[in-house]
A and B are shown apart, each in its own frame.
Chain A
């Protein structure tokens, strides 16, 4: 598609939008779909048709509006409604030209909505992710157009570097530096990979971006490909995200049909193709070298680095790997400038971060906040605090690679450095809040069980170490700990952290170390309950059940 064609198409789509007097948006992402939002959408459409209002009211499915716990969410013009059932359709449609429906009212003036700063999710909840025209009307691919017609690859990298964007996958590597490394690597073929293998328990940020605004991810990848000199992209998504897979596939096909992917994009010499690869459910495939092995059709095993993928990645060619959210930030930076982006956030962590709020808070769902907001603000203001009058105990960030942060550190700003100092990590953005009823030994045991079953088995410290650690934690949490267990935990954690091959093993002890650091009392309390040393069996029933003869 030529540039003018796209701009005309976008203009026409905008006019079509304005043609309607009323807009009804129904969330059709996985969360709301699981509470029948598709049926709500169907009954709203039927009701509009029954009244013969098809030409005045536009009903469409959109991406996530954030407050997942109150779903299905429906937005009628400026009014937000929660927990909508299919039988509410008549009232909602009637309310378009009358008083709002009070019983379904959702307060959009609460801090959950007002304190957010939307960059990555700016169009989620506004656009129909399955309609390219709707996405174009909201500015999709304008960043790519600008890059291809006005900027050199070096200027794009300069812009990203100046914005201070850091990788949203967890480690926070500066994105501009990564891009320039790949751009400088020699070789005719280069690849861009989008890491959508989001596997942390309780994390669904990337799923939401892929389901709610797939064209944004494609645009970010295309801009990156132009910057580093790649012409082929791969999106690696876990197969547990069928809706994300469906929508990405649809988006890729739409973009291809309209020549937003393929040869001579916007009439320039730039070409870029994207293909989708599905993971088969291995957490370790989120590690970049394991992901590459999986894309190549081999067992998803990590390999020693260096060489880093920037030099030797997919099929041995220089490869840029970024997380979904990182790519989704790129179009906004290009369109609004690095200075705008660098103005959000803290000195070292720029921009916003999407978090998945889960656990013991009133408002669970997705939020996007500027970096540097304190954990207290997120948990008490946005998430609405702990329900049922219970006391806050800890917040777990970063999934199985992260740690638990206790109440005394709630006032730290959320940025990469602060969380690392506390023994946790930013991670991909999962935030699990726990109240006084949670037992921290149990939390540590849960995450260690996760790491044990997700270890690929390649290196000894991770394969056997996580099993040993889980055995000790399991024993302690069942009240059968032994006197030397805490020392052995510390020793094993240090060893697994220091000697494992990849990030999975190196970070697997973090939940244990952070709970030992802040909640050692709970370990001690369980140990004191334990019977005399020697009475406890060495292996638990659970671990025995895991043994399968080859």
Chain B
């Protein structure tokens, strides 16, 4: 996230019919959040670098036939943004359906049931069924770490864990292997998490994981409540906030 200098110019734009002001360099998503306009996100998290992979924050901009990711689009003067339309809702619902079909998401037995960003997003978007065939991949659960557990069945590859580990904790234990539908989160050189020499056991990845993929060991169904407040504080302390 870019620091905005004190001398930066301000400009005005229109989001969903509201005339709003913002600082030069701010993204549509930042301005929308500041003004209480909800744009759904999964990969974006304040304090982490831009990823732009979940495509949930796509918005329409007047005069442009394309859709634009709100997290990656910097505001310009006079922008007319629509964050909600039948087309956008349709696409967002399809994205959530795709995520649900990709791996094995079974809410009723998940430790994050009731505290899951994917689940609440699906509820908000009214995903009451999945119209796409499920993939049912055979995936593993990495239970080798003393404190934490990685369940690949519930991972949506948002890479928040990869980024927080590299950018905030500075350990870069986690990364992604493979590509396309076979991509997966790994530790070090694809070792069991418990064998990792670089993991500092800080638990940041667990707390910012949006689903039940990264959890504390010893939690039962619905018990895994994530605490994400640390990230805005750390961002402020590092002087990167506004």
**Residue with the greatest number of chain B CB neighbours at <10 A, chosen from A455, A463, A471:** A463
Partner of B53, one of A459, A495, A546, A547: A459
Within 8 A of A (CB), among B83-132: 90-91, 94-95, 98-99, 101-102, 131-132
Nearest residue, chain A, Cβ from B183: A457
Interface residue B38 (Cβ < 8 Å from any Cβ of A): no
Interface residue A58 (Cβ < 8 Å from any Cβ of B): no
Partner of B132, one of A299, A454, A468, A546: A468
Q: A299-B176, A500-B55 are in contact. Are A550 and B135 (CB under 8 A)?
A: no
B181 touches A501 (CB 8 A): no
Which chain B residues lie closer than 8 Å to A401 at the CB level? Answer: none
Within 8 A of A (CB), among B49-86: 50-55, 58, 66-67, 69, 72-74
Which of B6-14, B136-144, B195-203 sits within the interface? Answer: B136-144
Query: From residue B175, how far is it (CB to closest CB) to chain A in Å?
Result: 8
B133 touches A538 (CB 8 A): yes
Nearest residue, chain B, Cβ from A284: B179
Interface residue A539 (Cβ < 8 Å from any Cβ of B): yes
B180 touches A454 (CB 8 A): yes
Which chain A residues lie closer than 8 Å to B101 at the CB level? Answer: 464, 468
Interface residue A466 (Cβ < 8 Å from any Cβ of B): yes
A549 touches B140 (CB 8 A): yes
The digit string for A464-478, where 1 denotes a CB below 8 A from any CB of B, is: 111110010000000
Nearest residue, chain B, Cβ from A458: B53
Interface residue A87 (Cβ < 8 Å from any Cβ of B): no
B184 touches A550 (CB 8 A): yes
A501 touches B52 (CB 8 A): yes
Chain B residues within 8 Å of chain A by Cβ, number: 46
Interface residue A304 (Cβ < 8 Å from any Cβ of B): yes
Q: A304-B72, A454-B179, A499-B58 are in contact. Are A460 and B136 (CB under 8 A)?
A: no
Partner of B181, one of A467, A488, A538: A467
Which chain A residues lie closer than 8 Å to B90 at the CB level? Answer: 495
Interface residue A328 (Cβ < 8 Å from any Cβ of B): no
Query: From residue B191, how far is it (CB to closest CB) to chain A in Å?
Result: 12
Partner of B98, one of A284, A468, A549: A468
Separation of A499 and B101 alpha carbons in the complex (Å): 18
Nearest residue, chain B, Cβ from A475: B133
Interface residue B209 (Cβ < 8 Å from any Cβ of A): no
Q: A464-B99, A468-B132, A549-B139 are in contact. Are A304 and B52 (CB under 8 A)?
A: yes
Which chain B residues lie closer than 8 Å to A466 at the CB level? Answer: 180-181
A457 touches B95 (CB 8 A): no
Separation of A498 and B92 alpha carbons in the complex (Å): 12
Which chain B residues lie closer than 8 Å to A530 at the CB level? Answer: none
B98 touches A461 (CB 8 A): yes
A460 touches B53 (CB 8 A): yes
A455 touches B136 (CB 8 A): no
Nearest residue, chain B, Cβ from A543: B135
Interface residue A426 (Cβ < 8 Å from any Cβ of B): no
Interface residue A223 (Cβ < 8 Å from any Cβ of B): no
Which chain A residues lie closer than 8 Å to B102 at the CB level? Answer: 463-464, 467
A452 touches B180 (CB 8 A): yes
B91 touches A463 (CB 8 A): no
Query: From residue B123, how far is it (CB to closest CB) to chain A in Å?
Result: 18
A547 touches B135 (CB 8 A): yes
Separation of A539 and B54 alpha carbons in the complex (Å): 24
Nearest residue, chain B, Cβ from A468: B132
Query: From residue A539, how far is it (CB to closest CB) to chain B in Å?
Result: 7
Interface residue B134 (Cβ < 8 Å from any Cβ of A): yes
Query: From residue A374, how far is it (CB to closest CB) to chain B in Å?
Result: 30
Nearest residue, chain B, Cβ from A506: B66
B181 touches A463 (CB 8 A): yes
**Residue with the greatest number of chain A CB neighbours at <10 A, chosen from B90, B91, B182, B185:** B182
A550 touches B186 (CB 8 A): yes
Partner of B55, one of A452, A454, A501: A501
B181 touches A546 (CB 8 A): yes
Separation of A499 and B70 alpha carbons in the complex (Å): 12
A457 touches B133 (CB 8 A): no
Interface residue A303 (Cβ < 8 Å from any Cβ of B): yes
Q: A457-B157, A460-B54 are in contact. Are A550 and B140 (CB under 8 A)?
A: yes
Interface residue A548 (Cβ < 8 Å from any Cβ of B): yes
Separation of A550 and B175 alpha carbons in the complex (Å): 12
Interface residue B239 (Cβ < 8 Å from any Cβ of A): no
Interface residue B17 (Cβ < 8 Å from any Cβ of A): no
Which chain B residues lie closer than 8 Å to A306 at the CB level? Answer: 74
Which chain B residues lie closer than 8 Å to A464 at the CB level? Answer: 98-99, 101-102, 181
Which chain B residues lie closer than 8 Å to A461 at the CB level? Answer: 55, 95, 98
Query: From residue A296, how far is it (CB to closest CB) to chain B in Å?
Result: 15
**Residue with the greatest number of chain B CB neighbours at <10 A, chosen from A459, A466, A471, A491:** A459
B91 touches A499 (CB 8 A): yes
B133 touches A468 (CB 8 A): yes
B152 touches A550 (CB 8 A): yes
Q: A457-B179, A463-B183, A471-B133 are in contact. Are A549 and B99 (CB under 8 A)?
A: no
What 9 A-B pairs come out closest when comparing CB atoms?
A: A550-B184, A457-B183, A304-B72, A455-B180, A464-B98, A538-B133, A304-B52, A547-B137, A467-B181
Other A-B contacts than A284-B179, A468-B132, A550-B177, 13 sampled, CB-CB below 8 A, are A299-B176, A303-B50, A454-B179, A455-B181, A457-B157, A457-B183, A458-B52, A458-B53, A464-B181, A467-B181, A495-B91, A499-B67, A549-B137
14 pairs from A and B in contact (CB 8 Å cutoff): A299-B175, A306-B74, A455-B180, A458-B52, A463-B157, A464-B181, A495-B90, A495-B91, A501-B55, A548-B178, A549-B138, A550-B139, A550-B140, A550-B177
